[in-house]
Structure 1
Amino acid sequence: MYTTAIIIGAGHAGLAMNRCLATHAIDHVVLERGKVANSWKTERWDSLRLLTSSGS
């Protein structure tokens, strides 16, 4: 399998980059050692939410 970009880590920066690449239709994959945003829920901020401009 070939891809244009690889994002390592699905934290807030990785998910933001995922959104940017998807918006521009750039083929990419996100690699994460655990569940997506798991460290947000268990290690850092208990009230953090992912906000996007799409309204969804």
Structure 2
Amino acid sequence: MKKLNCLIGAIIKDQNWAVIPFGNTILEPDDQVIIVTIPENASKIREMLEGGPVRTNHIMEE
């Protein structure tokens, strides 16, 4: 599991979407995540996810 402290997005489980609240969120290894973040946090989140068990579908930066 990875604990992320700086994201807002959506977590997809069994074709259902649940909003990830801003703040502490624990992700399970098979979770598919859509991440929407502000630019200064994007690189930090990418580093946290890189090499981890969480599959990242999309990271959007403005």
Asked if TM exceeds 0.5, the reply is: no
Q: Is the radius of gyration larger for structure 1 or structure 2?
A: 1
Q: How high is the TM-score relative to the length of structure 2?
A: 0.36
Structure holding more helix per residue: 1
